Amino acid sequence: MTSSWHRRKVFVTGCTGLLGAWLSDWLVLHGADVVGLVRDGVPQSNFYRLGLDRRIAVVRGSVEDYPLISRILHEYEIEVVFHLAAQSIVGIANAGPLSTFSTNIGGSWNVLEACRDSKLVRAVVVASSDKAYGTQEVLPYREDMPLIGRHPYDVSKSCVDLIAQAYWHTYRLPVAITRCGNFYGGGDLNFNRVVPGTIRSIFDGQAPVIRSDGSPRRDYIYIQDAVNAYVLLAEKVLDGTAVGNAYNFSNERPLNVLELTTMIGRLMGRPDLEPVVRNVTTNEITDQFLSAETARRQLGWRPEYTLEAALLETIAWYRGFFQDEALAATAREIDPAGAPGR
Q: What is the largest CA-CA distance in the chain?
A: 68
Amino acid at 253: R
Q: Give the pLDDT of residue 329.
A: 72
C-alpha separations of 50 from 45, 149, 229 in Å: 9, 35, 21
Spatial distance between the Cα atoms of 86 and 13, rounded to a whole number of angstroms: 9
Contacts with 318 (C-beta within 8 Å, 6 or more apart), sequence order: 186, 196, 199, 200, 203
pLDDT tens for the chain, 342 residues: list them: 446 899 999 999 999 999 999 999 999 999 999 999 999 988 889 999 999 999 999 999 999 999 999 999 999 999 999 999 999 888 889 999 999 999 999 999 999 999 999 999 999 999 999 999 999 999 999 999 999 999 999 999 999 999 999 999 999 999 999 999 999 999 999 998 999 999 999 999 999 999 888 898 999 999 999 999 999 999 999 999 999 999 999 999 999 999 999 999 999 999 999 999 998 877 777 899 999 999 999 999 999 999 999 999 999 999 999 998 887 777 667 766 654 443
Q: Which residue numbers are catalytic? A: 153
Write the Ramachandran bin of 133: left for phi over 0, alpha for psi from -120 to 50, otherwise beta: alpha
Walk me through the domains of the chain, giving residue ranges and CATH numbers. 2-187+220-253+288-306 (3.40.50.720)
Spatial distance between the Cα atoms of 18 and 35, rounded to a whole number of angstroms: 17
Q: Look up residue 132 and give its DSSP letter.
A: G
